[in-house]
Chain A
Amino acid sequence: MKLNNIKFLAILLILFVSSCTKELDVTPGDPNAFLSEDFYSSPESYRQGLAGVYSNLTLTGVSGPGSSNIAGIDAGTSQYGRGLWNLQVLAADEAKWSWENDPGVAEIQRSTWVANNVLLRGMYGRGMAQVAFANEFLRQTTDELLSKRGVSTELRAEIATYRAEARFLRALAYYHMMDLFGKCAFVTDENPVGAYQAPQAERPQLFKYIESELLDIEDDLKAPRQNEYARADRGAAWMLLAKLYLNAQVFVNENRYADCIAYCDKIISAGYQLAPNYLNLFKADNNNNDATIEIIFPVLSDGVVTQNYGPTTLMINSQVGSKESNGASFGVNAGGWGGALRVPKQFSEIFLNGEYDRDDRNTLITADRTIDISSIADRSTGYIIGKWSNLTSTGARGKALEIVDTDFPMFRLADVYLMYVEATLKGGGGARGKALEYFNALRTRAKNPNLISDAELTLDLLIDERLVELHWESHRRQDLIRFDMFTGNKYNWSWKGNAANGIAIPDYRKVYPLPSESLAANPNLTQNPGY
């Protein structure tokens, strides 16, 4: 009797326990979180998933501008374009950041960076996350899975384009990694998600891979200017190929100027035109004013729906002078970020060399300021500029007063013109006449009366003209390296090498070190020499 009772109770208990263990299989509770299999059960999901991959170029997380899926760095600073901007612009002669108590900045702009610099960690992490996001989209859109989910033929055709765009974004990320770090982990959609320790790829392998990917997706991408705004098309792929070839000498020690010219030609003949007004390219409505005809690939920003602390928000708030409090003229709070950015003397000197006295691209503000940044902390030293704006082309203010509506034109036609000129001057076989025409077209568009003659068209002028046309657009470090002016003694700018007047820095600083955390997390990676 006793025993039976106990047995009965024991059996009851066992039944109860086993039924409860099913409760351990939980599912996401948040209305904005989904199991991936549930998410991809709806046809709209593919477009949203693709937007997710694009968004990593500008959003740092899914919960507003203060959220981030990259750790070890302030959320806003982890933004893709901002990381790129810091490493291409601050590290060179185009700007200095006043708030050096922000971690990592001083090392970057004084050329003393080390492997545990947080800005490096942020950019490597962000770029490699882009690879992971693209890979995930490709894994979720295989033929096999699409068939299994019963996706319609119509949608599948659409998804083929989406896949090509995801591969473009992956190639773009690898391109940035190759340029900045000289190497990176090589992960594709064939590899598992988790803690997979990918092999390291150096520049030759990355170069080949990026090139082959871009060539491979060319047909699947929409024709130039035929895709929706902010989505990559064939023009964007050609642009990336042209940049690859222009820098091939640096990347893989090969002369590919002829290929560069070929792709510049393709882009130029695809219907892009210079925007009639230079400054409209950098305004709050550059997503729908007359600048869109020039922009090949933008990264979005919006004061309401695409909030981020990326390069355009950074530049517009930071170009506000501490003394001038001139934010209202850029459509942001009058004080902006209190004078966060000023330009080094060498930058100002190019604009003041007589060529650009009348030029829309010259936005220097010099009154009551010294040209020299004698102290980075003293925000009244050094000139400031006013290239970017959160006002629209008609003078209306953007939607918000800090986070701007201004998109970042990552690729635009003017750059193609200057690449054509450079590749031609470097012996790529382009037509000199066309080169001169492109060069002068940019000056004409900027209402600069100083058109040049064929004899004046030199590489020395070109590198200055690139600064004048493309400054703060995240090209400068790469340009200086291509002209061998970044390291060594050929060209010293203020605070290069941590000296007020600039001193030489060693050649190993042409690439950044891999972040120490990333090296540790993946033993297949090796550190760049010198670090």
Chain B
Amino acid sequence: MLKTILVMYLAVIPAFIFSQTVSGTVIDAQSLEPIIGANIVVKGTLTGTSTDLDGRYQLSASFGDTLVFSYTGYELLELVVNATTMDVQMRESSQLLDEVVVIAYGTTTVKDATGSVASVTERNFNRGNIVTPENLLNGRVAGVTVNTGGAPGSGSTIRIRGGSSLGASNDPLIVINGLPITNNTIGGAQSILSSINPNDIKSFTILKDASATAIYGSRASNGVIIITTKSGGNDLKVEFNTQVGLSTLPNTLDIFSADEFRALVAEKRPDLVPLLGTANTNWQDEIYEDVVFNNQNLSLQGSLFKKLPARLSLGLTTQPGIRLTSKFQRNSAALTLNPSLLNNDLKVTINANLAQEKNRFASGQEGNAITFDPTQPVYDPNSPFGGFFEYYKDNGDGVLNSADLTPNSPGNPVAALLQRTDKSEVTRIYGNINLDYRLPFFPSLRAVVNLGLDDASAEGFTSVVKESRTTQPNGEFLGSRSEYTNDQRNVLFDSYFAYDKNFNKNIDVEATAGYSFQRFESEGYFSGELKNDLPDSEPVNSAATDLVLIGLFGRANVSLYDKYLFTASFRRDATSRFSEDNRWGNFPALAFAWRMREDFFPSSELITNLKLRLGWGITGQQDIGQGAADLYLERYARGLPSSQYTFGNEIIPIAVPQFRNEELKWEETTTSNIGVDFGLFRDRISGTVEYFYKESKDLLAFAAISDGSNFSNSGFQNIGNFTSQGVEFSIDLDVFNPRQSVFNWNVGFNATVIKTEIKELALNQDVRVGGIAGGVGGTIQLHRVGYAPFKFFVYKQVYNEDNEPIEGAYVDLNGDNIINDNDRYLYRNNQPELTMGFLSQMSYKNFDLSFNMRASIGNYIYNNVNSARAQYDLIQNIQVLSNLPRSVRESNFNTTPTVILSDYFMENGSFLKMDNITLGYTFKDAFKTGADFRISGGVQNVFTITNYSGLDPEIFSGIDNTIYPRARTFLLGGNINF
């Protein structure tokens, strides 16, 4: 669209020979106040400017040229130049139909979008303690769920419309300034997004349906998240943000206290009373601490030498975790330059980011803390283990080694944390250079080249002090140390032509065609155990096979009468993951949008927007993991030093042929989408309703393969069919209209219902998934044809007349008088039936108050904490005592093996969460410096309403076997703008 160029600020006004200076003032039609920063361009050119503090502008234009005035939140205005002074009044449009939305290989506007495209910009980002970028949009967009772990800087499971694969990745494609990034987290980093400073982000665009995503072809099946970072501007702007906070543990699991445990042991196992200690330790309290975090950001924006728009941002985040020793620290610098050269024909954008992430990981001690005997102390002055209490008994042989440890005893959870250091440092350089050249001899055509680089290198080590009870394989207490490195690199070369022409007033054509090349590389090193010199602790170098993706793409948008919008796109993609015969895939898409208001009620004051959108397209999937990049090749793998064979006395490094499938090809997802966008009362009420239907075929499934024909009994194959459909609804309300009242209030609400069904599985065989604790290799979930994936697969518990469960008694569902695996049945689902998000933003004079909430309805949880631990027999852990969840009092179960697969442990995990509430006050023109100064206070993870008995019902897998608890954080923030 022509309007795309409106995003550009232009500092220098080229003086054309035939043009003259046009100037004027831009004011708000209602308040008659000047509008600062409105954009004005000469239509069809890149000549433009923006208004100053008094709303004044001037630029060069010829009579007959059309000037386009635009300003965020106002209706677009086009005027033909007929005087040298043109004063303009602009009308507010509360629904931001003209807001520019970044899409694949270009931009569009809300008004002209044909696909299912949602944009989240700074103004409706989530507030609060946002450490990783994806949390800016958690709950904001219908159909998008973000499930973030509790560790500091922790990664998230992001799903757009629930994903579309069973065996391949369900992660959306994430594109930062045109550079698609890998979904593979580098060793030592918290996540793929953890090194990105959320403060540098200008907007997210979520592409949900295939008509919007298909131009990304091979990787678009799970939707696309386009992240655009802030760019430079003309005016000098300085912004400083600071935030400090206190993170606390919101709640703990319900287990017996020390005194209750003494009573329990006396009641159930009087023979074990002598093993009880005299301390009163709450191990769950001992492994956590309250921590203070802080977050500082400074950004400078302006025009260097009045010619080079630039932005520099520095960020410093220090976030210790509430689990002892865990910590996340990020130092980031981002530099953006947006020069325009060659009479503005060549626009250059340079984004350069340097981020350093320093992590200290803390191993999960939750399970240990639940069960560790609460009558034992944390510290023991006589202990040879660094003063920590441990179970040991000196066997008097003069050497302290594993033979002195109490057999099969657990280690002190606090010692396990404090005696271990697991640190990493990740340096990531990423960015892109974008050259956008309007051909001077053919001004409708632009040539764009985008070069991207994402290079991350990690270094880390794990060490355990020698006073720890950690033993070497031979039983010696030497502590432990190992080191590792990991390097990942992702390079991108994109080039495309963009053609944009307004044939006459009624036909607008935009076409794009291009080529994309991307390569992903990764290599690593592991030192092996450095505290011993056994052959199996030799260093190991490893590398992933490169992944190369090549795409040819094209797209055409035609707009007729500004009412009928057509989009067609096509991408032809190749991946190095598949053999030469199968590596190319074709991904077409079509979309049509009809701005119905303009035909039916063009002057209605009630209905101010009504748009129907229809979309269809095919997208691909090939991401089956870094380790499966070359399954079509005839490969041999050599055994590591611990995996060799010996002939006679000679150790032979073995070589084993690897699973091979030359037939692997693209998984394809066909999506149909119908949506209606509406706006009422001058768009004070606006929203979208959408329905989608997705069908994935040739699923890349890890499935059984005919035994004996391959070098495994299973491997990736294209078998299976999976559908999902859903309805999304979102609405935004300006309860009180801004600019007309000292009290402003707007709310946003969205809701999503998704239903999935497996239509065909490899060989129509059930697939067992969902590993659980309590046994080696047990699973609790199943994929079965005709059902949603990840159904729980359990025994049906039998209850007595008092409705108490009878231990080990299950319904003989197949009636053969034997209770075996054939009597398990499918129960519920780990995914919610309904998810909702709610955002409220209020302001009164200089106060602002915002909060956001999320709800998830109908997701079920298998309480593995209880199923694997809440049995009386487990009071005795061989030679020591073990605490239990208090829920054992309700079940009165004795033994794990007979109850672990019972549906008794299934619980409804529906929840309502308030993620954040923030109250702020802004001092306008503080200290008469022209600077705005805002202070704010808030709470993160405010409350959770749920019936789930465990710690936190937000568990993506639906299997709760302890989590890193999500902290409750109290925040104070300050922000200065000038």
Contact = CB atoms under 8 A, between A and B. Distances in A.
A71 B474 CA distance: 30
Contacts of B710: 132, 193-195
A325 interface: yes
Nearest to A98: B897
B709 A114 contact: no
B708 A131 contact: yes
A47 B706 CA distance: 28
Contact of A304 (B403, B517, B534, B638): B534
- Rank and list the top 8 A-B pairs by shortest CB-CB distance, nearest first: A335-B407, A125-B713, A74-B777, A101-B775, A335-B408, A228-B648, A128-B707, A520-B763
9 contacts: A27-B633, A36-B636, A47-B647, A48-B655, A52-B656, A102-B775, A129-B712, A306-B643, A518-B713
A24 B583 contact: yes
B626 to A, nearest CB: 10
Contacts of B646: 229-230, 287, 300, 302, 305-306
B442 A2 contact: yes
Given A54-B645, A198-B708, A26 B635 contact: no
A369 B839 CA distance: 65
B897 A106 contact: yes
A51 B647 CA distance: 8
Nearest to A192: B709
A20 B542 CA distance: 26
A406 interface: no
Interface centre among A26, A112, A118 (most CB of B within 10 A): A26
Interface string A215-228: 00000000000001
A376 B497 CA distance: 73
B765 A33 contact: no
B528 to A, nearest CB: 11
Given A26-B576, A70-B713, A34 B534 contact: no
Interface of A: 1-2, 5-6, 9, 13, 16-17, 20-21, 23-37, 39, 45, 47-49, 51-52, 54-56, 58-59, 61-65, 67, 69-74, 76-77, 99-103, 106-107, 112-114, 116-118, 121, 124-126, 128-129, 131-133, 135-136, 184-187, 191-198, 228-231, 287, 300, 302-307, 322, 325, 327-328, 333-336, 338-339, 376-377, 397, 399-403, 498, 516-518, 520-522
B818 A112 contact: yes
A377 B897 contact: yes
Contacts of A327: 407
B975 interface: no
Contacts of A186: 708
Contacts of B654: 48, 51-52, 54-55, 59, 62
A271 to B, nearest CB: 17
A401 B775 contact: no
B707 A522 contact: yes
Contacts of B630: 26-28
A26 B644 contact: no
A55 B656 contact: yes
Contacts of B774: 101
Interface string B476-500: 0000000000000000000101000
B543 A23 contact: no
A101 B868 CA distance: 9
Question: Which of B654, B708, B821 is the most central at the interface, judged by chain A CB atoms within 10 Å of its CB?
Answer: B708
B790 to A, nearest CB: 17
A439 B642 CA distance: 41
B17 interface: no
A194 B821 CA distance: 31
For chain B, which range describes its interface: under 10, 10 to 19, 20 to 34, or 35 or more residues? 35 or more
Contacts of B580: 24-25
A17 B552 contact: yes
Contact of A23 (B473, B535, B576): B576
Contacts of A36: 634-636, 657
Contacts of B471: 401
A285 to B, nearest CB: 13
Given A30-B543, A121-B713, A307-B642, 16 more contacts: A36-B635, A49-B655, A62-B639, A71-B702, A72-B768, A74-B776, A100-B897, A106-B897, A128-B707, A195-B661, A198-B709, A229-B646, A231-B647, A335-B878, A336-B407, A520-B763
Nearest to B497: A9
Contacts, number: 371
B643 A55 contact: yes
Contact of A61 (B643, B652, B713, B776): B643
Interface of B: 402-403, 405-409, 439, 441-442, 447, 471, 473-475, 495, 497, 515, 517, 519, 521, 523, 534-536, 540-548, 550, 552, 574-576, 580, 583, 629-630, 633-663, 702-715, 717, 763-766, 768, 774-779, 818, 820-822, 873, 878-879, 895-898, 900
Nearest to B661: A194
A24 B550 contact: yes
B473 A125 contact: no
A405 B650 CA distance: 15
Contacts of A125: 707, 712-714
Given A59-B645, A403-B473, A185 B536 contact: no
Nearest to B775: A101
Given A30-B543, A49-B655, A328-B403, A77 B777 contact: yes
A299 B826 CA distance: 42
Given A20-B517, A34-B636, A101-B778, A520 B550 contact: no
Contacts of B657: 36, 52, 133, 136
A6 B544 CA distance: 40
A298 to B, nearest CB: 10
Contacts of A16: 515
B655 A325 contact: no
A31 B641 CA distance: 13
A304 B713 contact: no
B5 to A, nearest CB: 22
Contacts of B703: 521
B777 A102 contact: yes
Given A24-B548, A33-B637, A132 B708 contact: yes
Contact of B640 (A63, A102, A129): A63
Contacts of B706: 185, 195-198, 518, 521-522
Q: Which of A6, A71, A185 gathers most chain B CB within 10 Å?
A: A71
A435 to B, nearest CB: 35
A212 B776 CA distance: 40
Given A59-B654, A125-B707, A325 B879 contact: yes
A325 B542 contact: no
Contacts of A399: 473-474, 534
B627 to A, nearest CB: 9
A394 B176 CA distance: 65
A491 B45 CA distance: 96
A62 B643 contact: yes
Contacts of A305: 535-536, 641-642, 644, 646, 651
Contacts of A77: 776-777
Contacts of A307: 536, 642-643
Given A195-B705, A522-B707, A59 B643 contact: yes
Contacts of B640: 32, 62-64
Given A191-B709, A198-B709, A304-B642, A51 B652 contact: yes
A198 B765 CA distance: 19
Contact of A124 (B405, B495, B535, B707): B707
Contacts of A231: 647-648
Contacts of B663: 194-195
A103 B645 contact: no
A281 to B, nearest CB: 18
Which residue, B402, B406, B636, B897, has most C-beta atoms of chain A within 10 A? Answer: B636
B704 A520 contact: yes
A55 B540 CA distance: 20
Given A23-B548, A517-B713, A401 B402 contact: yes
Contacts of B878: 322, 325, 335, 338-339
